[in-house]
A and B are shown apart, each in its own frame.
Chain A
Amino acid sequence: METALALEELGALFFGLGVLGRLAGRIGISPIPLYLLGGLAFGQGGLLPLAGIEGFTELASEVGVVLLLLLLGLEYSASDLVGGLRRSWLAGIVDMVLNATPGAVAALLLGWGPVGALAMAGVTWVSSSGIIAKVLSDLGRLGNRETPAVLSVLVMEDLAMALYLPVTTAVLASLGFLAGLRTVAIALVLLVVVLVVALRFGGAVSAVVDSPSSEVFLLRVIGVALLVAGVASQLQVSAGVGAFLLGIAISEDTAENATRVLSPLRDLFAAVFFVVFGLNTDPASIPAVIPVALALAVVTTMTKIGTGWFAARQAGVGSLGRWRAGAALVARGEFSIVIAGLALSSAAIDPEFAPLATTYVLLMAVLGPVLARVVVPAHGALSGRRRAAA
């Protein structure tokens, strides 16, 4: 009987997510905010509490994080990352300083201490590469001259995550300074080793998973990814970082095949991950954090626009293109939730952290694509008025 009930609940959950995803497509926004809302609706204090499937959904959401980061790693080749690092390190630093600071300051003002500040800094820092790639493609801006600048900011953020996530994992587990330093050193060494291996012997890692049969290939890729993620998790480097590094190490042709077979699985498990995050947030706690979330949204929208503006100017792009780059980067999404998800499991984190992160991502995931759309007509209207006044 229990199995029957669990199957019914899971079925209703996935079907509900499918309906939400379709709705998101209709109104032209990312499905992530709707999945979060779905989680809020089903979870504790929500409309329809789900019981008996937590064991499955918790594990599935962990797999979701692993797959999200594995596919992110597969998207970038090692030469992309090293090239991005050479060309855009300055934009990457500007991005970090401008966008991590507001989150950290907000957390300190709320009295969450340095651990809360570190986690919240990550939530406001990282743009959503998934949402942004989709928006640029939908708006026909992939060929624009500011787009490489936008993408290189995203690349820098992802590289930075390979260090930030282990640091945060260590701090959240309150391992102490020396143990924390050790995990950071492990992560740094792993990152360098993976980049070197991928650049010099890219074929070797691919050979482990490659197979002409797509079934065998799928099983091997998933198997290796979960193994690597598990070992990384045991070393306190965080499961996601392990998967991300594995993704980078798999070279181009194999990476493309892996992306093709894994994308549907990623969509499934990542959806569960977003829902579980929503499930763990009590909707009743949201109204109290709305003012802070709104303030953070306003400030970090401006700081992201500044970041994009700077990166595009470095690339020699004109005024309107700089604004387009800035607006494109505003969206936050999957990464902010991954970071918030890490923080959730720690005792050192204030209970208001999850509702704030949820509300913030809900705002930014919707606001980002809208801003990217309206920035061009808005710029036209403004410069038109300036011309009329002159």
Chain B
Amino acid sequence: MDVELTRLPGIGTKQEFVTGDGRRVGVLTHRDGHRELLLTGREDPDACVASVPLSEAECNALGTLLGAPNLVAKLGDQQREVEGVNTAQFPIAAGSPYVGRALGDTAMRTRTATSIVAVVRDHVVSPSPRPDFVFAAGDLVVIVGTGEGLRQAAEILEAG
């Protein structure tokens, strides 16, 4: 995928790409760091129909919304042939007992026979996290296992 970078002298930088249906989607990063989500219209491919200012937290939320399901869908595709194995993602909620604790503390594989294959934080994916990986509130945990195993894993992450 080609992401085009344009410098806007005195304003900042614009990064954008063209989607399958011919629209441009991009992010304008102002010099002071604040960002805008850009979207061009169908009528006039040169003009933005939306430019939405986003805060740091909103950027992270949007990145996670778009990035994490994508990862899960990819993993799901790879495991489609294996009967009975599913992929799911669970958030580490602010009240979870594992906020600030290591991945190994969940003893996930022993207790539910599932494996944690990735953790998504601030739209950065950490693949194959090690047992000493420390969770933070807002992390998305991607887990592979059987349907029953995944249900148990969700309970563990929520309540310990």
B31 interface residue (CB < 8 Å to A):
yes
Contact status B7-A145, CB under 8 Å: no
What number of residue pairs across chains A and B have CB atoms under 8 A from each other?
A: 71
The prevalent SS among residues of B at the interface is: strand
* Residues 1-18 of B at the A interface (beta carbon under 8 Å): 6-11, 14, 16
Interface pick from B45-53, B58-66, B101-109, B148-156 = B45-53
> In the complex, which residues of chain A have a beta carbon less than 8 angstroms from the beta carbon of B31?
256
> In the complex, which residues of chain A have a beta carbon less than 8 angstroms from the beta carbon of B46?
144-146, 317-318, 320-321, 324
Q: A140-B51, A142-B36, A143-B26 are in contact. Are A151 and B44 (CB under 8 A)?
A: no
A83 interface residue (CB < 8 Å to B):
yes
> In the complex, which residues of chain A have a beta carbon less than 8 angstroms from the beta carbon of B11?
133, 142, 151
Contact status B28-A143, CB under 8 Å: yes
Range of interface residues on A (Cβ < 8 Å): 20 to 34
Contact status B36-A320, CB under 8 Å: no
Closest 4 CB pairs of A and B: A321-B46, A143-B38, A145-B46, A80-B9
Contact status A318-B45, CB under 8 Å: yes
> In the complex, which residues of chain B have a beta carbon less than 8 angstroms from the beta carbon of A144?
46-48
A352 interface residue (CB < 8 Å to B):
no
A243 interface residue (CB < 8 Å to B):
no
A303 interface residue (CB < 8 Å to B):
no
> In the complex, which residues of chain B have a beta carbon less than 8 angstroms from the beta carbon of A364?
none
Contact status A256-B45, CB under 8 Å: no
Closest chain B residue to A315, Cβ basis = B46
A257–chain B nearest beta-carbon distance, Å: 11
B18–chain A nearest beta-carbon distance, Å: 11
B81 interface residue (CB < 8 Å to A):
no
B132 interface residue (CB < 8 Å to A):
no
Using A140-B48, A143-B36, A151-B8 as known contacts, list a sample of 12 further A-B pairs with CB atoms less than 8 Å apart, ordered by residue number in A.
A76-B10, A77-B9, A80-B10, A143-B38, A147-B8, A148-B8, A151-B9, A154-B9, A154-B10, A256-B31, A320-B44, A321-B47
Q: A142-B28, A143-B38, A256-B31 are in contact. Are A75 and B48 (CB under 8 A)?
A: no
Whole-angstrom CA separation of A76 from B7 in the bound complex = 11
B83 interface residue (CB < 8 Å to A):
no
> In the complex, which residues of chain B have a beta carbon less than 8 angstroms from the beta carbon of A145?
24, 40, 45-47
Q: Which of A84, A143, A318, A321 contacts B9, CB < 8 Å? A: A84
> In the complex, which residues of chain A have a beta carbon less than 8 angstroms from the beta carbon of B36?
142-143
Whole-angstrom CA separation of A75 from B7 in the bound complex = 13
A333–chain B nearest beta-carbon distance, Å: 15
Closest chain A residue to B12, Cβ basis = A142
A61 interface residue (CB < 8 Å to B):
no
Q: Could you list some 22 contacts between A and B, CB below 8 A?
A: A81-B9, A140-B48, A140-B51, A142-B48, A142-B51, A143-B40, A143-B51, A144-B47, A145-B40, A145-B46, A147-B8, A148-B6, A148-B14, A151-B8, A151-B9, A151-B10, A152-B9, A154-B9, A155-B10, A317-B46, A320-B46, A324-B47
B35–chain A nearest beta-carbon distance, Å: 11
* Residues 115-167 of A at the B interface (beta carbon under 8 Å): 129, 133, 140-148, 151-152, 154-155
Contact status B9-A155, CB under 8 Å: yes
* Residues 237-273 of A at the B interface (beta carbon under 8 Å): 256
Q: Which of B7, B16, B38, B51 contacts A80, CB < 8 Å? A: B7
Closest chain B residue to A147, Cβ basis = B8
For B76-90 the 0/1 string (1 means CB < 8 A from A) is 000000000000000
B24–chain A nearest beta-carbon distance, Å: 8
Contact status A320-B47, CB under 8 Å: yes
Whole-angstrom CA separation of A140 from B46 in the bound complex = 12
A131–chain B nearest beta-carbon distance, Å: 13
